[in-house]
Amino acid sequence: MAILVIAEHSNGALAGATLNTVAAAQKIGGEIVVLVAGQGVAPVAEAAAKVAGVGKVLVADDAAYANLLPENVAPLIVGLAKGYSHVLAPATTNGKNYLPRVAALLDVEQISEIVEVVAADTFKRPIYAGNAIATVQSSAPVKVITVRATGFDAVAAEGGSAAIEPVSGTGDAGKSAFVGEELATSDRPELTAAKIVISGGRGLQNGDNFKHLYALADKLGAAVGASRAAVDAGFVPNDMQVGQTGKIVAPQLYIAVGISGAIQHLAGMKDSKVIVAINKDEDAPIFQVADYGLVADLFEAVPELEKLV
């Protein structure tokens, strides 16, 4: 059995989610081959070759694979997939974009966002916004799977010495073109990888008041997230959203400030190790999942917290 893991990368660096995906591949068992597709990805391939547990790195370096457009990348992966028992990608927006296309072209089901490997053909995944966990078994010849990063501890980024081998696919399918992107800039840790996450909701009242959370976050080395209410109200950009439709996080400490705790928000953070809720409504549902709850006005409690930590 050999497992093909599709690497996630941006700006010439291997993304952390790839390490969690390799960890899931190790749980399945078998030789692990990482595919790095993109343009100018030699440094990514070198980083992938150093990842512990990786047996081989395939590099598809072509302008057609820049930005991982699914119309171009899916045929490349399909061409390689036949020799593997499993094809895994991180459940990032990229992985979610191209991998179902791969599965359909291979005429197999895809298993989305696994959080546990039970056996080489059996996996656990959350359904209904994390309110139920399904165990699913696949009899497909190639198991096509996206991996939820927070379900698996990342493997070491150093220690491996895999061989790097170039591969090529069919190139540009001519159906789509990248026009541009607008990335949010932040000096704080990445939301999905941070050990501490502080999130704000509608209770913050406006975008300016998020400065209280940023000040606390900077002191704790934390990332800042938000509920959908805060994003929809325009307080913060949408890539900060935590929840069923946003990012899934599982940090050591999650501090929910002015967030009521709707089912859809809980889906994105309830696997956090310790949850703290600060809310002035003592009946807010967030208190049902919080390890430590503080019923208080956030505009007094957050600055005081910042002083004390």
Partner 1 sequence: MKILVAVKRVVDYNVKVRVKADNSGVDLANVKMSMNPFCEIAVEEAVRLKEKGVASEIVVVTIGPAAAQEQLRTALALGADRALLVESGEELNSLAVAKLLKAVVDKEQPQLVILGKQSIDSDNNQTGQMLAALTGYAQGTFASKVEVAGDKLSVTREIDGGLQTVSLALPAVVTTDLRLNEPRYASLPNIMKAKKKPLETVTPDALGVSLASTLKTVRVEAPAARSAGIKVGSVAELVEKLKNEAKVI
Q: Which residues are annotated as a binding site?
A: 202, 227-228, 241-245, 258-265, 279
The minimum distance between CB 230 and partner 1, in angstroms, equals: 13
- Helix, strand, or coil (residue 265): helix
The minimum distance between CB 161 and partner 1, in angstroms, equals: 29
Residue whose entry in the numeric block shows the structure tokens 């913060």: 236
- CA dihedral (260, 270, 305, 188) positive or negative: negative
Given the complex with partner 1, which of 208 and 308 has the nearer CB atom?
A: 308
- Residue 300's H or E segment, with its range, is helix 298-308
- Residue 214's H or E segment, with its range, is helix 210-220
Given the complex with partner 1, which of 53 and 90 has the nearer CB atom?
A: 90
The minimum distance between CB 189 and partner 1, in angstroms, equals: 14
- Residue 299's H or E segment, with its range, is helix 298-308
The minimum distance between CB 139 and partner 1, in angstroms, equals: 5
Tokens of 36: 């790095």
The minimum distance between CB 46 and partner 1, in angstroms, equals: 23
| Those residues with Cβ within 8 angstroms of residue 37's Cβ, 6 or more apart along the chain or in another chain | 6, 7, 59, 60, 62, 65, 68, 73, 76, 77
145 burial via Cβ count (<10 Å: 0-12, 13-18, 19+): buried
The minimum distance between CB 220 and partner 1, in angstroms, equals: 6
The minimum distance between CB 159 and partner 1, in angstroms, equals: 27
Tokens of 213: 């959370």
Given the complex with partner 1, which of 140 and 164 has the nearer CB atom?
A: 140
- How far CA 62 is from CA of 15, 67, 174, 271, in Å, comes to 19, 11, 14, 39
Q: Which amino acids are annotated as binding site for FAD, given as ranges?
A: 202, 227-228, 241-245, 258-265, 279
- How far CA 66 is from CA of 12, 38, 39, 72, 159, in Å, comes to 11, 4, 5, 9, 28
Tokens of 79: 């061409």
Alpha-carbon distance of 198 to 301, in angstroms, equals 14
Alpha-carbon distance of 202 to 180, in angstroms, equals 31
146 burial via Cβ count (<10 Å: 0-12, 13-18, 19+): buried
Given the complex with partner 1, which of 162 and 242 has the nearer CB atom?
A: 242
Given the complex with partner 1, which of 86 and 247 has the nearer CB atom?
A: 247
Given the complex with partner 1, which of 52 and 148 has the nearer CB atom?
A: 148
Given the complex with partner 1, which of 23 and 216 has the nearer CB atom?
A: 216
199 DSSP β-pair partners: 225, 256
